[in-house]
C-alpha cells in the first residue's frame, strides 16, 4: 500500500527554475533565495558548472557583484554525490550542464530536497538553450525574468551577441552580449 510521504512528516522536495535572458537578474534571484535559506538555518549546497569562470572560479557572482560560495562541478552526476543530507540545492548556469541535469534535479526532489536552478532559457539566436527545456518541463515552479532592451526600452528576452562567432556557447559579459527584445534582436548593427 502506497502512503503519501507528506502525511507522515517526511520532507517533500520540488524544483524551482529561474530563467530568462542575460542581465535579467537570474543569478541575483538565485543568490537572494539561497541567502534566505541560510537565514532559515537549512542545510544547503550550491553548484555551478566548472566551465563558468567569468567572474570567479568558485563563487557564483551576479552582474551586480553579489556573490555566494559554490562548488564548481564538471558533471551533473557530481551534484548527486556532493549533495548528501541537505535541505536545499542551488544550481547556477544550468544551460551549461550535461543532458543528465534534469534527471539529477528530479532525483534530488524525490529525496525531499528543494532544488533551485537558474539558467538561460534561450541562446543568442532565440533558440532553446541546452537542457533548460527539460528542466522547465520538470519544474514545479518557474520564474521567467526579463532584462530591459538596450535599443528600445521594452522587456528583453534575447541575449544578443554583439560579436561575430559561431557555436551556441561563447562565455562573455557586456563586452559580448546585450539584452534585446525580439524585434530589436532582428535588427543588424
Decide if 90 contacts 29 (C-beta within 8 A).
Answer: no
Task: For 65-99, write each residue's pLDDT tens digit.
Answer: 666 678 899 999 999 999 999 999 999 999 999 99
Name the residue among 20, 50, 23, 47 with its Cα closest to residue 123: 20
Q: Which residues pair with 155 in a beta bridge?
A: 148
- Between the alpha carbon of residue 28 and those of residues 3, 12, 35, 106, 164, the distances in Å are 38, 26, 11, 24, 28
Cα–Cα distance measured from residue 177 to residue 146, given in angstroms and rounded to the nearest whole number: 15
| Mean pLDDT (whole number) for 129-153 | 97
Comparison of pLDDT for 7 and 100, the residue scoring more: 100
Specify whether 93 is catalytic: yes
DSSP 8-class letter at 122: B
% of the chain beyond a pLDDT of 70: 79
Cα–Cα distance measured from residue 95 to residue 171, given in angstroms and rounded to the nearest whole number: 12
Q: Note the pLDDT of residue 1.
A: 40
Model confidence at 175, pLDDT cuts 50, 70, 90, reads confident
Every domain of the chain and the residues it spans: 10-145
Name the residue among 118, 4, 96, 115 with its Cα closest to residue 51: 96
- Between the alpha carbon of residue 172 and those of residues 53, 71, 86, the distances in Å are 10, 21, 32
Q: Note the pLDDT of residue 163.
A: 80
Q: Note the pLDDT of residue 132.
A: 97
| Mean pLDDT (whole number) for 11-26 | 94
Q: What is the CATH number of domain 10-145?
A: 3.40.50.300
Cα–Cα distance measured from residue 15 to residue 104, given in angstroms and rounded to the nearest whole number: 11
The dihedral sign for the CA sequence 126, 52, 152, 157: positive
Single pTM value for the model: 0.86
DSSP string computed for 59-84 = SEE-TT--EE--EEESSHHHHHHH--
Q: Note the pLDDT of residue 56.
A: 59
Decide if 172 contacts 54 (C-beta within 8 A).
Answer: yes
Q: Which of 16, 29, 45, 93 is catalytic?
A: 93
Comparison of pLDDT for 22 and 56, the residue scoring more: 22
Amino acid at each position: 500500500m502506497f502512503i503519501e510521504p507528506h502525511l507522515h512528516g517526511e520532507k517533500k522536495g520540488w524544483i524551482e527554475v529561474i530563467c530568462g535572458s542575460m542581465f535579467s537578474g537570474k543569478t541575483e534571484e538565485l543568490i537572494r533565495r539561497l541567502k534566505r535559506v541560510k537565514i532559515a538555518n537549512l542545510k544547503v549546497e550550491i553548484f555551478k558548472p566548472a566551465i563558468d569562470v567569468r567572474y570567479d572560479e568558485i563563487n557564483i557572482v551576479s552582474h551586480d557583484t553579489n556573490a555566494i560560495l559554490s562548488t564548481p562541478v564538471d558533471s551533473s552526476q557530481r551534484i548527486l554525490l556532493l549533495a548528501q543530507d541537505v535541505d536545499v540545492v542551488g544550481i547556477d548556469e544550468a544551460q551549461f550542464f550535461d543532458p543528465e541535469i534534469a534527471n539529477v534535479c528530479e532525483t534530488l526532489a524525490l529525496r525531499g530536497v528543494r532544488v533551485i536552478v537558474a539558467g538561460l532559457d534561450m541562446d543568442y539566436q532565440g533558440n532553446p538553450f541546452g537542457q533548460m527545456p527539460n528542466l522547465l518541463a520538470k519544474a514545479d515552479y518557474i520564474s521567467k525574468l526579463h532584462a530591459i532592451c538596450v535599443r528600445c526600452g521594452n522587456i528583453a528576452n534575447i541575449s544578443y551577441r554583439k560579436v561575430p562567432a559561431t557555436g551556441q556557447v561563447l562565455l562573455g559579459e557586456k563586452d559580448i552580449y546585450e539584452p534585446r527584445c525580439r524585434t530589436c534582436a532582428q535588427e543588424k548593427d
